[in-house]
């Protein structure tokens, strides 16, 4: 009797444990279910705060278009931002064609001003549509003169308060820089394609005078603007803050608006090259030495003269101050021996010709355990 009572008692305990575990299991499975998952809803009035409109300011021929396209390419490549340049001249050509005279820009002709205002409105509508097309960071660059206070005020009102506006003013006082810009007139402007250079230059200078008569430089302390004078020889900022504006300033400070060709050269044949070995830090072979000597001749006759005697190469490699060239190498022996015959004479102004500077970042990637092995 006693044993049977103990068995019944144990059975009762087992039953209570099983009931309890079933209850716990039921509770835990219920807790695993997510009946009301977290949702990602956009605010009703959502707008990305990283939307900017960069408005170029300045007279024609001051390098605004060059700066706009270089800035757009840099932002697109290094910051993965959706950037687009809106050139007012291109919008104008779609409506009135390319073959127009300087008189079209005369503010005294009211009929032309009305057409020009219509073109600007259409361009601004395209900018607004581009900036609000999605909820990702976008930057529009408005490439136009925007040369009066009234025009800039109209731009601000037209674009609206949700988009951050930064004005970038380009000023050129150096006659040599201005001469270089005007010298590229026929190649860079569809308006003068196929026209006699002197005729095109005369018309363009008259066009500049129409804008100069009304031109008002940036001085409004309530606006955000960057002022570049003579290719950033002088740079003035006003109300510039934030990540993208800071990056833009850094780029503009180091921007060159005149041609500066870059020459790339491999090192001469090294001892490891001849043996078919990977990496290492060997010196040059006899063939490598011969290459180094020819490279020094090329530098003297071609690089330091901005293209040399060959007229086609001279046009392609045109440089305002070719003799002030710089030279960079890696820290490896083979690259330094490759440039050993390059002349480093001191010029009249104290500049050391092609002074060598070593960069570890230019070193060949280390091959690890394979360093020194054959291919």
Q: How confident is the model at residue 233 (pLDDT cuts 50, 70, 90)?
A: confident
Q: How many residues does the chain have?
A: 375
Distances (CA, A) of 300 to 307, 351, 358, 365: 10, 15, 21, 30
- Alpha-carbon 148 to chain mean position: 27
Is residue 112 a contact partner of residue 149, using CB atoms and an 8 Å limit? no
Mean pLDDT, all residues of the chain: 85
pLDDT one-digit tens code per residue, 136-154: 789 999 999 999 999 999 9
Distances (CA, A) of 260 to 41, 47, 316, 331: 50, 40, 10, 25
Q: How confident is the model at residue 2 (pLDDT cuts 50, 70, 90)?
A: very low
pLDDT of residue 17: 46
Is residue 107 a contact partner of residue 213, using CB atoms and an 8 Å limit? yes
Report DSSP state, residue 32: H
Crossing angle of helices 149-159 and 110-131, in 10° steps, is 40
pLDDT one-digit tens code per residue, 328-373: 999 999 999 999 999 999 999 899 999 999 999 999 999 999 999 9
Look at residue 60 and tell me whether its pLDDT is greater than 50: yes
pLDDT one-digit tens code per residue, 303-334: 988 766 565 555 556 666 788 899 999 999 99
Look at residue 232 and tell me whether its pLDDT is greater than 50: yes
Q: Which uninterrupted H or E stretch holds 170? A: strand 164-171
Is residue 142 a contact partner of residue 56, using CB atoms and an 8 Å limit? yes
Look at residue 46 and tell me whether its pLDDT is greater than 80: no
Look at residue 156 and tell me whether its pLDDT is greater than 60: yes
pLDDT of residue 257: 67
pLDDT of residue 190: 85
pLDDT of residue 351: 92
Q: How far apart are alpha carbons 373 and 375 in whole angstroms?
A: 7
For residue 360, the number of C-alpha atoms closer than 13 Å in the C-beta half-sphere is: 1
Which residues neighbour 240 within 8 Å (Cβ) at sequence distance 6 or greater? 166, 224, 226, 246, 249
Question: Mean pLDDT throughout 188-193?
Answer: 82
pLDDT one-digit tens code per residue, 20-43: 545 455 445 556 677 778 776 665
């Amino acid at each position: 009797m006693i044993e049977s009572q103990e068995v019944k008692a144990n059975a009762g305990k087992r039953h209570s444990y099983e009931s309890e575990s079933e209850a716990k299991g039921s509770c835990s499975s219920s807790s695993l279910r997510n009946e009301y998952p977290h949702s990602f809803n956009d605010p009703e009035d959502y707008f990305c705060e990283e939307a900017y409109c960069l408005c170029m300011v300045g007279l024609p021929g001051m390098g605004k278009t060059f700066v706009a396209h270089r800035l757009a390419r840099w932002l697109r490549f290094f910051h993965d931002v959706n950037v687009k340049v809106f050139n007012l001249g291109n919008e104008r050509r779609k409506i009135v064609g390319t073959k127009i005279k300087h008189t079209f820009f005369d503010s005294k002709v009211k009929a032309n001003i009305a057409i020009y205002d219509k073109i600007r409105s259409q361009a601004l509508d395209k900018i607004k549509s581009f900036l609000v097309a999605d909820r990702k960071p976008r930057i529009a660059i408005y490439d136009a003169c925007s040369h009066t206070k009234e025009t800039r005020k109209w731009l601000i009102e037209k674009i609206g308060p949700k988009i951050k506006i930064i004005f970038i003013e380009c000023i050129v006082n150096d006659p040599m820089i201005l001469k270089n810009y005007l010298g590229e007139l026929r190649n860079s402007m569809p308006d003068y394609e196929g026209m006699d250079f002197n005729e095109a230059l005369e018309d363009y200078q008259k066009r500049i005078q129409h804008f100069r008569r009304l031109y008002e430089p940036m001085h409004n302390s309530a606006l955000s603007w960057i002022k570049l004078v003579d290719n950033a020889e002088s740079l003035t900022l006003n109300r510039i803050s934030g990540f993208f504006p800071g990056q833009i300033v850094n780029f503009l400070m180091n921007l060159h608006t005149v041609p500066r060709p870059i020459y790339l050269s491999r090192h001469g044949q090294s001892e490891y090259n001849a043996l078919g070995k990977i990496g290492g830090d060997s010196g040059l072979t006899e063939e490598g030495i011969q290459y180094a000597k020819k490279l020094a001749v090329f530098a003297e006759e071609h690089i330091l003269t901005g293209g040399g005697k060959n007229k086609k190469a001279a046009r392609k490699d045109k440089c305002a101050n070719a003799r002030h060239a710089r030279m960079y190498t890696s820290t490896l022996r083979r690259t330094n021996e490759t440039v050993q015959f390059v002349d480093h004479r001191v010029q009249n102004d104290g500049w050391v010709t092609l002074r060598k500077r070593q960069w570890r970042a230019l070193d060949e990637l280390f091959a690890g355990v394979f360093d020194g092995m054959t291919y």
